[in-house]
Amino acid sequence: MFHKSTFLMLSLFTLLLAACAAPAAPVTEPPAAADEASTPAAAEEMGKIQVATTVSPIANIVANIGGDLIEVTGIVPEGTNSHTFEPAPSDALTIVAADLIIVNGLDLEEPTINLAEANKRDGVEIIFLGNNTVSPEEYVFDFSFPIEAGSPNPHLWMNPLYALRYAELTKDALSELDPANAETYAANYAAFEERINALDVAIQETINTIPEENRRLLTYHDSFAYFAPRYGLTVIGAIQPSDFSEPSAREVADLITQLREEEIPAIFGSEVFPSPVLDQIAADAGSIFIDTLSDDDLPGDPGAPNHSYFGMMVDNVVTMTRALGGDPSVIEGFDTSNVN
């Protein structure tokens, strides 16, 4: 819950900050085109454009498009449950400093968006990537994101083509804010697009090596709803209840029955959601349990060549392909470094 008193406190906090800390001057209005001589691009005048965003894959996509011209701050720490994350009052500092705020939306980061709306400077835009990538008819609702609860599965970025749309929306927003560098953002986007298209092909070729009867995903956390249909995989279930608690004893029993009946070779979890019951479920059902799929945690340390959206997706595909009886070597040499 995000209480009114918290808002009030944060608003006061903002006023204090504005009064004494004098954060970077706002870059809310792009300079008029006719005024070039006297008004150099806002970004050049004041240093890098400050972009506040949320989960690490999105922060990485944004960084690939902005390159050296922007400084990206991801408010949701890596390896955290982004679905239940509550920002700290100190995250208001990031919001106050932001020239642009970019979120997934689709109800993934409501507390952070509330914080942003209460604390952002006048004229600073909040870009909702997910809501501008698919129409409501394309939303996926399922066990973990039931339609009765009203919030669709928000994991659009796990489909590389949707991630490309996220990049395009970022390019458009940065170009509007900083038109003097629009060509650079366009070039960065073009490089990102080329790599995404290569990734899309490599994923399909890798998934194609999985025996057809094994092209089924049973995951703990429900993050492959938009990925699976793109590549001919079927999500036969996700285990995590909609409130992110552990499955009930009844659900566990049903799951073991389902696993036995469908002869699923592996079930997948993620390090962000360690679940002791899953090892037992897999053992009872004769499957293996692998807990390294990721939707909001980049592999490697910051600065490592695989610490990227591409690295995360390649790791996921290698993990699921190996466990389901395919040949992960098809994608193992893929260039996972950032394009910018």
Give me the least distance between CB of 260 and Zn ion, in Å please: 28
**Cα dist. 222→157, 242, 273 in Å?**
13, 10, 11
**Phi-psi map region of 161: left, alpha, beta (phi>0 left; psi -120 to 50 alpha):** alpha
State the nearest-atom distance from the C-beta of 339 to Zn ion, in Å: 24
Instruction: State the minimum distance, in angstroms, from the CB of residue 35 to Zn ion.
Output: 45
* Gap between the Cα atoms of 177 and 16, Å rounded: 26
Instruction: Name which of 223 and 275 has its Cβ closer to Zn ion.
Output: 223
* Cβ distance to Zn ion smaller for residue 133 or 223: 223
* Residue nearer to Zn ion on the CB measure, 104 or 184: 104
Please state the closest distance from residue 55 (CB atom) to Zn ion, in A.
Answer: 8
For 121-145, give the DSSP string. PTT--EEETGGGTS-GGG----SSS
Shortest separation between residue 154's beta carbon and Zn ion, angstroms: 7
Q: Report, in Å, the least distance between residue 221 CB and Zn ion.
A: 6
Minimum distance from residue 82 beta carbon to Zn ion (Å): 6
Distance between CA atoms of 118 and 92, rounded to whole angstroms?
Answer: 9
CA-based nearest residue to 31, from 179, 170, 175: 179
d(CA 32, CA 8): 36
Nearer to Zn ion, 109 or 295 (CB): 295
- By C-beta, is 134 or 187 nearer to Zn ion? 134
Q: Which is nearer to Zn ion, 159 or 223 (CB)?
A: 223
Distance CA 61, CA 339 (A): 10
The least distance separating Zn ion from the CB of residue 153, rounded to whole angstroms, comes to 9
CA atoms within 13 A on the CB side of 285: 26
Q: Tell me whether residue 74 or residue 326 sits nearer to Zn ion (CB atom).
A: 74
User: Other C-beta atoms within 10 Å of 57: how many?
Assistant: 27
Query: Cβ of residue 145: shortest distance to Zn ion, in angstroms?
Result: 10
Taking Cα atoms as reference points, which of 236, 274, 238, 282 lies closest to residue 256? 282
Nearer to Zn ion, 54 or 308 (CB): 54
Report which residue's Cβ sits closest to Zn ion: 295
Binding residues vs Zn ion (CB under 5 A): 223, 295
For Zn ion, give the closer residue by CB, 99 or 295: 295
| Structural tokens at position 174 | 């940065």
As a whole number of angstroms, the distance between CA 54 and CA 52 comes to 7
Angle at 263 between CA 262 and CA 266, to 5 degrees: 115
- Please count the helices (runs of H) and the strands (runs of E) in the chain: 11, 8
CA count, 13 A, side-chain hemisphere, 282: 20
